[in-house]
C-alpha cells in the first residue's frame, strides 16, 4: 500500500478509483498535485473526480471508531506500563550483580614507599608504571584494611581509555615481580548505579558505576564471586 499511516474513518470511506484501490486523501491530493497525469498507483487509470466514491460516516460509525481508538489507546498504555514494570523488576535484580569492566584493571601486591597520596597517584600514572600501557582515565588506590596482613600491599584500580590497553596491562603485570612480591592483575568489576536501578537519571558527572545493562557473560552475582 502507498499510505504508511493507518486510515482514519474518513479515509476508510474514500475510494478515489473505480478499481477499488484505496489511498488516504492526503496521498490522493499529493498525487494530483505533484504528478503530471495523476494516475491510480494500482491500475494506472487517470483519476477522475466524477468517479470518486465517498460515503459520509454516520453517527454509529463515528461512535464505533471512537470506541476503537479508546481501546487501542488503553491497550497501548497497558502494554507500556507492563514494559516499565518488567524493566523495573529486572533492574532490581541487578542490585547484587557485579559486571566485569574490560577497561578496568585491578592490581594487588604493590607496596609503595611514597606516602603522599597525590604524589603516589601521579607516579602510578607515569610512563614508568601503568601509564606505559595506554591513556588512563582514572586511578584509585585501595588502602589496606586496618588489622589486615601488612605484607599484602595495596590494591590499585586503573581505568584505561581503551579496553585493549587494559588487556595489555594485565598481560604484562600479572605474575611479574615487584621487589620480593609477585603482582597480580585482573579485570576489575563494578556495579550498577543506584539511579539506573531506580530508572532515574544519574546527575553525578563523576559516577563510575554502570548506567546500561552489561553482557550476561560478564555479569556475576555476589555468590558467584565468593565461590
Do 154 and 111 touch, CB atoms closer than 8 A?
Answer: yes
Greater pLDDT, 133 or 212: 133
What's the pLDDT score for residue 174? 95
Same domain, yes or no: 41 and 101: no
In a domain, 173, yes or no: yes
Residue 14 near residue 22 (C-beta atoms within 8 A) = yes
The boundaries of the domain holding residue 32 are 9-54
Asked if residue 117 is part of any domain, the answer here is yes
DSSP 100-152: EEEEEEEEEEE--S---HHHHHHHHHSTTTGGGGS-EEEEEEEPPPTTS-TTS
Here the CATH number for the domain that contains residue 34 is 3.30.40.10
User: Are both 139 and 210 inside the same structural domain?
Assistant: yes
- Residue-wise pLDDT for 187-215, tens only, equals 998 888 888 888 889 998 878 788 887 66
- Based on the fold, state whether residues 18 and 109 are members of the same structural domain: no
Q: Band of the pLDDT at 223, cuts 50, 70, 90? A: low
Confidence band for 150, pLDDT divided at 50, 70 and 90: low
Computed over its alpha carbons, how large is the radius of gyration of the chain?
33
| pLDDT (tens digit per residue) in 69-122 | 888 888 888 888 777 777 766 677 788 788 888 999 999 988 888 888 889 999
CATH number of the structural domain spanning residue 182: 3.30.70.330
Band of pLDDT at residue 152, cut at 50, 70 and 90: low
How many Å apart are CA 159 and CA 101, to the nearest integer? Answer: 9
Task: Give the pLDDT band of residue 166 (cuts 50, 70, 90).
Answer: very high
- Residue 132 pLDDT > 90: yes
For residues 116 and 182, state if they share a domain: yes
Same domain? For 31 and 132 the reply is: no
- Tell which wins on pLDDT, 182 or 95: 182
- According to the model, what pLDDT value does residue 158 have? 94
Q: Please check whether residue 49 lies inside any domain of the structure.
A: yes
State whether 104 and 34 are in the same domain.
no
pLDDT digits (tens, 9 = 90+) for 36-68: 788 999 999 999 989 999 888 888 888 888 888
pTM for this predicted structure: 0.54
Has residue 77 been placed in a domain? no
Identify the bridge partners of residue 188 per DSSP, sorted by sequence position: 101
Q: For residue 32, is it left (φ>0), alpha (ψ between -120 and 50) or beta? A: alpha
Is residue 67 situated within a structural domain?
no
Q: Does residue 17 share a domain with residue 122?
A: no
C-alpha cell belonging to residue 68: 476503537
How many other β-carbons are positioned within 10 Å of the β-carbon of residue 67?
Answer: 10
Closest-CA residue to 104 (of 197, 217, 209): 209
In a domain, 118, yes or no: yes
Is the residue at 157 inside a domain?
yes
Grid cell of 62 as nine digits? 463515528
DSSP annotation of 219 reads E
Tell me: pLDDT of 221 over 70.
no
Give the pLDDT band (50/70/90) at residue 124: very high
Instruction: Determine whether 133 is exposed, middle or buried from the number of CB atoms within 10 Å of its CB (0-12, 13-18, 19+).
Output: buried
Residues 117, 28: one domain? no
How many domains are there within the chain? 2
104 and 49 in one domain? no
Across-strand partners of 15?
Answer: 53
Residue 25: inside a domain, yes or no? yes
Distance CA 158, CA 101 (A): 11
104 and 174 co-located in one domain: yes
Amino acid at each position: 500500500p502507498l499510505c504508511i499511516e493507518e486510515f482514519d474513518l474518513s479515509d476508510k470511506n474514500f475510494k478515489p478509483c473505480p478499481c477499488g484501490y484505496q489511498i488516504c486523501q492526503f496521498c490522493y491530493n499529493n498525487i494530483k498535485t505533484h504528478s503530471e497525469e495523476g494516475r491510480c498507483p494500482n491500475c494506472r487509470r487517470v483519476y477522475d473526480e466524477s468517479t470518486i466514491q465517498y460515503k459520509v460516516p454516520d453517527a454509529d460509525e463515528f461512535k464505533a471508531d471512537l470506541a476503537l481508538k479508546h481501546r487501542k489507546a488503553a491497550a497501548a498504555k497497558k502494554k507500556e506500563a507492563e514494559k516499565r514494570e518488567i524493566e523495573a523488576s529486572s533492574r532490581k535484580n541487578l542490585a547484587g550483580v557485579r559486571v566485569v569492566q574490560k577497561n578496568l584493571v585491578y592490581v594487588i601486591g604493590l607496596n609503595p614507599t611514597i606516602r603522599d597520596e597525590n604524589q603516589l597517584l601521579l607516579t602510578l600514572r607515569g610512563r614508568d608504571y601503568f601509564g606505559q600501557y595506554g591513556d588512563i582515565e582514572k586511578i584509585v588506590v585501595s588502602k589496606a584494611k586496618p588489622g589486615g596482613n601488612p605484607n599484602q600491599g595495596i590494591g590499585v584500580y586503573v581505568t584505561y581509555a581503551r579496553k585493549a590497553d587494559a588487556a595489555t596491562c594485565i598481560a604484562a603485570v600479572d605474575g611479574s615481580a615487584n621487589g620480593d612480591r609477585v603482582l597480580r592483575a585482573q579485570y576489575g568489576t563494578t556495579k550498577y548505579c543506584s539511579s539506573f536501578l531506580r530508572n532515574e537519571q544519574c546527575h553525578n558527572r563523576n559516577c563510575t558505576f554502570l548506567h546500561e545493562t552489561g553482557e550476561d557473560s560478564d555479569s556475576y552475582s555476589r555468590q558467584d564471586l565468593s565461590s
